[in-house]
Amino acid sequence: MVFAEADEEQCKPEMPCVLRRAPRPGSHTEHYSYAPPSVSSALPLPVAHPSLPGPCHDLQPSAPGVPALPPAGHPLGYGGAVDGGPSGYFLSSGNNRPNGTPALESPRIEITSYLGLHHAGGPFLHDADVEDLLPSCRRSPSTATLPLPGLEAYRDPSCLSPASSLSSRSCNSEASSYESGHSYPYASPQTSPWQSPCVSPKTTDPEEAFPRGLGACHLLGSPRHSPSTSPRASVTEESWLGARGSRPTSPCNKRKYCLNGSQAPCSPRGSPAPSPLGSRRVSGTEDTWLSTTTQYTSAAIVAAINALTTDGSLGPGDGVPTKARKTAPEPAPPVALKVEPAGDEPGATPPASDFPPEDFAFQHLRKGGFCEQYLSVPQAPYQWAKPKSLAPVSYMSPSLPALDWQLPSHSGPYELQIEVQPKSHHRAHYETEGSRGAVKASSGGHPVVQLHGYLETEPLMLQLFIGTADDRLLRPHAFYQVHRITGKTVSTTSHEAVLSNTKVLEIPLLPENNMRAIIDCAGILKLRNSDIELRKGETDIGRKNTRVRLVFRIHIPQPSGRMLSLQVASNPIECSQRSAQELPLVEGQSTDSYPVVGGKKMVLSGHNFLQDSKVIFVEKAPARIFLKQPIQYLLTCAGSLQQAALADPCGHLHMWLELKASWPASRRLRGRESPQTRLVFPGVSEFGIRRGIAALNSLVVEIPPFRNQRITSPVQVSFYVCNGKRKRSQYQHFTYLPANVPMIKMEPTDDFESSLACGPVSQGLSPLPRPCYSQQLAVPPDPVSCLVAGFAPCPQRSPMMPAPPSTSPKLQDLSSVAYTKGVSGPSLGHLGLQPPAADAPAVQPGSAEQPPPALLQPQ
């Protein structure tokens, strides 16, 4: 049996002193981080709460007994937002964003009882309230700190990254559940002016009059509307800091690493600081699947990862080295930071009235985290095209589900469906390039989306954003953004908005069109990895993270006043130039399960299959985790943050630890230099390698017999197509059935089973009747239960791992839950033995079908 080695990527002490190029003018950062130099210069200071290293907004704790405080004037909220109580809903969402822990005096390990972190309340607490609660929620009483004397260089306190290193989840991620529950401009210290009003909120958008069915969304997560269609289209962008060279000819524009964290002399902006993101996390790509999720073969581990990954909220200073958060090198352009009263947007207006325009802007900024996530860059006076005329939809709920929430594609009579899938390849364009056009369909046309079951006459707004396509839960892709395409060839009206850091294309769905839309207005923009990785809280890495999915959402007003949200994701789309040409891509498989005896021919459909393509079947190894080195040592190897599972001598998982430490700049090590410090995670073993017979866009392979012919329950395995050393497709799932089981097409009866069959790998397989990745969540039996209010905000969290990864250190005994239960069998999916994909398994069945009372409190 061949065990995959521990994820080198994760254990690799990655560039603690990475010099990341500061966002350049013209770069995407222009679109996301805007702060007039005057203000930005002060960015590094979360002065508002010196005592609170971590940003309050990142921690939305609300004591269990403390009623969440809906924003004043907050209209009936979305879901439990306005339920007022500390519903589990918010509890699970708001808290999961751990946040900063006090500044680290030195590298250390903090061990905190997970449970202890669980009390944090809902996201609706005013920051002040949060502060009051901080003592108990920010840091669990059970927190233990283990100083590491030997280490000298420490992260900037503000850079403490609670982000888990095991997931690519973007901590602050765009429209994360956390933020979503937090997207109200509360007057809080957090909103202090240090967050520059660099952004002109929605109001600057000429398209204000555009249908506001989604207006709420705009306000909520979106500090402002996105700039014009093309990032580079805006003249202002180029003009801010002077037009940048078309090419980063100078090293200044390239990422440079140094051993001591000293600033690259050439860096125009400066200061490199040890990267708090040093801990490299891998975004699920074909090469990383094993090294990430799969390695943690224990349900508990995965669950823990899920729990931890969604969090990662960071403080204002988190993620981006303080020094890196520098003022724009040049004077702020005379950009009119026009900020109009939020009230301009009826219904969608948060209690902004309490703030002067500037504050409102601040609020949005901070909510969106724009200024926080990049080096400050002056805000450009983006302007929207003239608003289209379309009756605004009736709902104005200010609280729509965050983009990283997993939602069902259908509920009750409604079903959001992708009638025509996009092509599996679409070369995304960089900001430095011109648009590469809209995503097309394989047939040559464009993707088509339709909402079935909607009989009202009110138009609805379809949201589209670029989501991830890895084996984890669907979430906005940090490195890709949807790009609005306009022009004569575009027939579909669209509008661009920004929810947190995620651009969202809003496309009206009209009853007269049968609630059907041709998506010919959506291109894909690639953001520079270096820029995104620099973003505060971002823990994903962009390298080889080039697959995305188009994610469509629709919010249907219900008679009850609540909003029913549905979501569907497309098949994965490979966005890189090279990959699109060379990497094998599996889009579908003729069989998804077969008896252990194997022997049957399975036809894979896809691209780039070669005559010598091999299909390799792998099985996840038993969940055993070992720490190969003492924690302290692990820390030194871990970089800024690591997580580790502790196992007893028998390999049984006992608890999860989230380890935080700064990586001594002077001790930067290469991953290879300290192999002994890696965690050893028996990962997967290959049990079947078959050479396929390539045909046109298809590959025929014989299903190898399973190593264990006596299984009594279905066993899910994975396989991938390999064209060479580093040319592998993403993992696909396959289920072996007990030999005596009659071979009947295993049609998942529910999402749970579906998850077993399709697995978390939401990558592209889908000749199956129902693509797993399209099913983001178990479908509730009735619309009511599907109301977002009824969903746990963080479906990633397994029922057994409800505790949000709040404040940094975490320690939760999982031995009694996930691990013991999640050994094998159908329950694995729920227990997280499977990679947490944007699929049912990660969703709490209970929350979907039998939501806790607290989750469905009427508004």
Partner DNA sequence: AATCTGGAAAGATAC
Partner DNA sequence: CGGTATCTTTCCAGA
Residue 219 or 485 having the CB closest to DNA: 485
Stretch that binds DNA, among 52-60, 88-96, 239-247, 551-559 (CB under 7 A): 239-247
Site for DNA in 651-670 (CB under 7 A): 670
C-alpha span between 366 and 48 (Å, rounded): 13
The least CB distance from residue 724 to DNA, in Å, is 6
Contact 224, 382 (CB under 8 A): yes
Taking CB under 7 A as the criterion, the residue among 367, 544, 660, 830 binding DNA is: 544
CB of 532 to DNA, least distance (A): 8
Question: Which residues does 261 contact at the CB level (< 8 Å), separation at least 6?
Answer: 16, 17, 19, 153, 272, 273, 274, 665
Interface segment toward DNA; rule CB under 7 A; list 134-142, 309-317, 541-549, 782-790: 541-549
Give the whole-angstrom CA distance, residue 451 versus residue 532: 33
Which of 271, 529, 629, 798 is in the footprint of DNA by CB under 7 A? Answer: 529
Question: Please, what is the minimum distance in Å from the beta carbon of residue 452 to DNA?
Answer: 30
Q: Fill in the per-residue mask, 267 to 306: x = in contact with DNA (CB under 7 A), - = not in contact.
A: -------------x------x-------------------
Q: Which of 150, 193, 245, 781 binds DNA (CB under 7 A)?
A: 245
Minimum Å distance from CB 380 to DNA? 18
Q: Which two tokens stand for residue 183?
A: 């997207």
Question: Binder to DNA among 51, 141, 246, 769 (CB under 7 A)?
Answer: 246
CB of 514 or CB of 581, closer to DNA? 581
Convert residues 573-592 into a mask of x (bound to DNA by CB under 7 A) and - (unbound). Answer: ---xxxx-xx----------
Here the tokens at position 15 are 């560039």
Instruction: Determine which residue in the list 135, 247, 740, 853 makes contact with DNA, applying CB under 7 A.
Output: 247
- Under the binding rule (CB under 7 A), the answer on residue 5 touching DNA is no
Output the smallest distance, CB 663 to DNA, in A: 15
Residue 262 within binding range of DNA, rule CB under 7 A = no
8 A C-beta contact, residue 383 and residue 30: no
How far apart are CB 399 and DNA at their closest, in Å?
34
Kindly report the number of other CB atoms within 10 A of residue 772's CB atom: 30
Two tokens, residue 544: 């080889």
CA nearest neighbour of 538 among 795, 281, 284: 281
Strand ranges (E), 197-279: 256-257
Total residues contacting DNA (rule CB under 7 A)? Answer: 51
Segment interacting with DNA, rule: CB under 7 A, options 74-82, 101-109, 643-651, 720-728: 720-728
Nearer to DNA, 371 or 525 (CB): 525
Q: How far apart are CA 622 and CA 577, in angstroms?
A: 37
* Bridge pairing between strands 593-595 and 732-737: parallel
Give the contact letters, 206-225, x = binds to DNA (CB under 7 A), - = no: --------------------
Is 487 a binder of DNA (CB under 7 A)? yes
Q: Provide the token pair at 638.
A: 């871990």
Distance CA 181, CA 368 (A): 12
Q: What is the CA radius of gyration of the chain?
A: 24
- Can you tell me which of 251, 343, 598, 852 binds DNA, judged by CB under 7 A? 251
Measured in residues, the chain has a length of 859
Per-residue contact string for residues 144-183; x = within reach of DNA by CB under 7 A: ----------------------------------------
Tokens of 731: 């993992």
x/- track of binding to DNA for residues 438-467 (CB under 7 A): x-----------------------------
Contacting residue, 44, 162, 542, 841, with DNA by CB under 7 A: 542
Q: Which of 325, 436, 607, 678 binds DNA (CB under 7 A)?
A: 436
- Concatenated DSSP letters for 119-178? T---TTS-HHHHHHHHHHHTS-TT-EEEE-TT------GGG-----SS----TT-TT-HH
Two tokens at 170?
Answer: 């973007």
Residue 269: CB minimum distance to DNA, A: 15
Return the range that interacts with DNA (CB under 7 A); candidates 41-49, 149-157, 526-534, 564-572.
526-534
Task: State how far the Cα of 394 lies from the Cα of 615, in Å rounded to an integer.
Answer: 51
Please, which residue, 221 or 572, has the CB nearer to DNA?
572
The answer to the question of residue 491 lying near DNA (CB under 7 A) is no
Task: Say if residues 109 and 657 touch (Cβ distance below 8 Å).
Answer: yes
Note whether 598 and 739 are within 8 A (CB).
no
Q: Rounded to whole angstroms, how far apart are CA atoms 322 and 394?
A: 43
Cβ neighbors of 817 (< 8 A, separation 6 or more) are 300, 303, 800, 801
CA 190, 194, 197, 201 torsion: positive or negative?
negative
Query: What residue ranges bind DNA (CB under 7 A)?
Result: 8-9, 14, 27, 245-249, 251, 253-257, 280, 287, 427, 429-438, 485, 487, 526, 528-530, 542-546, 576-579, 581-582, 670, 672, 724-727
